[in-house]
Every structure is written in structure tokens, then in C-alpha cells.
Amino acid sequence: MSSLKAKLLALTVLPVAVLTGCVVEVGPDPQPVPNYVPYIDYADGGCYWDNHYADHIWYFEADVSDGNGAYDVVEVWADVYNDRGIYLESFKLFRETPSPSFWFSDWLEYYSMLECGWQDYTIDIVAYDALGEFDLLTFRPYQTP
């Protein structure tokens, strides 16, 4: 086939291909959904004696809200520091109730570096959302004598 015939064939096939193709209309760009920072509404933590386990139990709890919904919060942690602000240990909190905004965990003192009765701990409850935004609430733990 000569190059002239090939060019003529291409020119006759091209308009047919264009006429039978799809037309895609592009509208305005969708508006981005804002990401809201999680907010810790309530947090508590501390220790108490448990006769069944014959050990102190450390507990941490938080109620966390988020403008994008409770399930946008993906992690909550309790970070414990000593009286000089030195980091000691972190405890992961879990959703253990029907309420998706309530996070909780409890730990035997035996498996931690904490000592019930030590008065100079501070606890940071930190809540993270799906995009890494976070809120932090600091408090002193409740401890039974």
C-alpha cells in the first residue's frame, strides 16, 4: 500500500471514529469536605485495688467527639509522665461499649511501669482522627489509698 493510500484511508476513518465516540462533560470541581479536629469532651484515669486479681488496676477513659463523626477518630492513647515530665509509658484505649465516642482500657499494675500511690503522675489523653489531626487533654490520675 502506498503512503498516499494510507493517508487517504486514515483521513476517511478518522471522522468516523470521532463521530461515534463519547462526549464527556466536565462540571465544576467538587468542594472538599473539611476535616474537623477531634475534641476530647471528657477524660479520666487512675488506679484502684482489685481483690480478684490481687493487684492494682490502672484505667483510662475518654469521650471524644469529631465534627466528621465519631468513627473519624481512629486512635486514643493515654501517655503517662512522671513529676519531672519524663515519659514513662503509653496505653492504648479501645471502643468497648455501644457508644462509638467512648474509649476505655484497663491494665494490671504488674504489667506496667506505674505504681499506684505515687502522687506525681500526669496523664495526657491524645485522640487522633483519620487524617492525623489530634486533641490532647492533661490531668492528674485518681488513686485510691
| H or E stretch covering 75 | strand 73-81
CATH superfamily for 39-143 is Immunoglobulins (2.60.40.10)
**pLDDT for res 56:** 95
In this predicted model, which residue has the larger pLDDT, 14 or 110?
110
Cα separation, 136 vs 69, whole angstroms: 18
pLDDT tens readout for residues 101-140: 999 999 999 999 999 988 789 999 999 999 999 999 999 9
10 Å CB burial of residue 27 (0-12, 13-18, 19+) is: exposed
The grid coordinates listed for 77 are 492513647
Whether pLDDT at 6 is above 70 = no
pLDDT tens readout for residues 53-79: 999 999 999 999 999 999 999 999 999
* Domains of the chain, residue spans: 39-143
Do 73 and 127 touch, CB atoms closer than 8 A? Answer: yes
